[in-house]
Amino acid sequence: MLIYLTEWLRDLLGDLPGANLFRFLSFRAGLAIIISLLISMVSGGRIIGWLRRMQMGESVRDLGLDGQKQKEGTPTMGGLIIILAIVVPCLLVSKLDNIYVITMLVATIWMAGIGFIDDYLKIKRKNKDGLAGKFKILGQVGLGVFISLVMLFSEQIVVRMDVNEATAAGISTEQMVGQPATIQLDEGGTVTRANFRTQLTNFPFLKGSVFNYENLFHLGRNLVWILFIPLIVFIITAISNAANLTDGLDGLATGVSAISATVLTVFAYVGSNAIIANYLGILHLPGTEELVIYSACLVGACLGFLWHNSFPAAVFMGDTGSLALGGVIASLAVLLRKEWLLPILCGIFVLENLSVIIQVTYFKYTKRKYGEGRRIFLMSPLHHHYQKKGMSEVKIVTRFWIVAILFAVGAILSLKLR
C-alpha cells in the first residue's frame, strides 16, 4: 500500500525525498520486520489485557509435569497478535497485486480462523475437545487444495528458465507464457529464457535437482493434479498439525517458527533473483520477491510474540497461532518449490510429530501382543519426554532452538551441497 502511495505522491508532486527507497526490496523487507515487531510488542499488551477481560484463560489438564498447574488461567488465543503483526505490515509494505502475497494472506487468515474457532469452543463454550478433528482436517485440506489450484492454474505462477533446458526437461513450448527473451551473457554468449507454467520443483542435495511432476507416470499437464493436489494437501496438513503439537512449552513453537521463516526469507530472495538462482542452479521464480516481504513479516511477528511468550509466558498462542504458523510455513515452502526440504527445514516439527506417531503405534502394538501397552518415550510429544526426565522448561526450549538452527543451516546448505 505504501509503495502505491509514494508512487502517487511522486506523480503528483514530482521529486519526493525518500520515495525511491520503496523500490528497494531490502528496504521494504527491513521496514516490514520493524513494523511487525512494533505491532506485536506494542499491541500485544493491549490484546493480552483484552483476552484477560474476556476470560480467555487456558484450562490446563494435569499431566504430572512440573510447573504445569501454575500456567492455569494464562490468556490464550495470543495467535491473534501474530496474525495482526503479519497481515498489517504485509498490507502496508508489499505489492498487493502479487499473486504470491494474495495467496499467503488468504492462507494466514484461513488457518487462523480455524484455530480461532477451536480456541473459542474450548474456552468460551467449555468444550474441552474444541473443534472436531474432522473439521480441522477439512480446513487444512481446503487450504491445500487452494494452494494447489493457484499453482496449477494461475497465469502469474511461472518458472523462468532457459528454453533449451526446458525442452530437455520435457516441457513443451505450449506451456510458455509470453515471448522468450534473449539475454546477453557476460562471457559474450547469449541464452534464450522464457516463463513456463509447469509443476517443477527442486530436490535437495541432488545434482540436477530439478524435478517435473508432470513427467511422473507420464501424467502430463492435464493430469498432473491427480498427484499434485493430494501431495500438497498432505504436506500442509502434516506441518500444520506438527506445529500444533510443538506448541507445548513457552516460546518453543514461536522460536522454531521464526528460525524456519528466516530460512524461507533467504529462499524467497535467491529464487526471485535471476543471477543468484542461475548461479546456485535453482529454479528462478519471478514474483517471489514479494514473499521476501511476507516472510520478513512472519519473522518479525514471531520474534515480537516471543516478547510476551518467552518463559514465563504472559500469553499462549493457542491453536489460533500454532495451526496458522504451521500452515503458512508449509504454504510458503510449496510456493517457493521447496516442499521436499520441509523435513529438514521443519525438523523439530517433524520430530515432535513422529514422537507421537511412534508412541501411539508402539503402545497399540504391544497392547495387542502382550495385553499391556508399553511406551518408548516417557511422554509424547517429545518435549514432554524431557520434562518427565526432570529437565527444566527453559533448557528444553533453548536446546530445541539450537537443534532447529542446525536444521536451518542444513536447509541453507542444500543450495550448494549436491
Mean pLDDT split into 10-residue runs, the chain, 418 residues: 74 71 90 95 91 78 67 88 96 94 97 94 78 92 97 92 79 78 63 84 81 84 91 97 94 96 97 89 92 97 95 92 96 96 96 96 94 93 94 96 97 88
Overall size of the chain counted in residues:
418
**367 assigned to some structural domain:** no
Instruction: Please report which helix (H) or strand (E) contains residue 294, including its range.
Output: helix 289-309
List, in sequence order, the alpha helices (H) in 94-224.
99-123, 133-153, 163-168, 220-223
Instruction: Please report which helix (H) or strand (E) contains residue 184, including its range.
Output: strand 176-184
**255 assigned to some structural domain:** yes
Angle of CA points 309, 235, 377, to nearest 5°: 60
Nearest Cα neighbor of 85 from 246, 242, 254 is 254
| Distance from the first to the final alpha carbon of the chain | 40
Radius of gyration of the chain (CA): 23
* pLDDT at residue number 60: 64
* pLDDT at residue number 96: 92
Tell me the pTM.
Answer: 0.93
C-alpha cell at 39: 505491532
Nearest Cα neighbor of 415 from 349, 337, 346 is 337
- What range does the domain containing 230 cover? 2-158+215-278+290-341
Instruction: Please report which helix (H) or strand (E) contains residue 4, including its range.
Output: helix 2-13
Q: CA neighbours within 13 Å on the CB side: how many for 266?
A: 14
**33 assigned to some structural domain:** yes
* pLDDT at residue number 184: 60
Tell me if residue 200 falls in helix, strand or coil. strand
d(CA 398, CA 404): 10
d(CA 148, CA 330): 12
Tell me if residue 58 falls in helix, strand or coil. coil
Contacts 24+ apart (CB under 8 A), 384-392: 384/63, 384/65, 384/248, 385/355, 387/65, 387/66, 387/249, 388/64, 388/65, 390/66
d(CA 312, CA 283): 43
Contact 35, 294 (CB under 8 A): no
* pLDDT at residue number 1: 73
**83 assigned to some structural domain:** yes
Residue 219's region, left for phi above 0, alpha for psi from -120 to 50, else beta, is alpha
Counting the structural domains of the chain, the total is 1
**284 assigned to some structural domain:** no
Q: What backbone torsions phi and psi does residue 413 show, to the nearest 5 degrees?
A: -65, -20
**174 assigned to some structural domain:** no
**302 assigned to some structural domain:** yes
Contact 150, 99 (CB under 8 A): yes
Amino acid making up residue 118: D
* pLDDT at residue number 62: 60
Going by their DSSP bridges, the two strands 200-202 and 190-196 should be labelled as unpaired
For 136, counting Cβ atoms within 10 Å of its Cβ (0-12 exposed, 13-18 middle, 19+ buried), the class is buried
**73 assigned to some structural domain:** yes
Contact 40, 82 (CB under 8 A): yes
C-alpha cell at 168: 530437455
* pLDDT at residue number 163: 84
* pLDDT at residue number 408: 97
Calculate the alpha carbon distances from 245 to 82, 329, 349, 381 in Å. Answer: 18, 15, 8, 7
Tell me if residue 160 falls in helix, strand or coil. strand
Nearest Cα neighbor of 187 from 278, 269, 260, 249 is 278
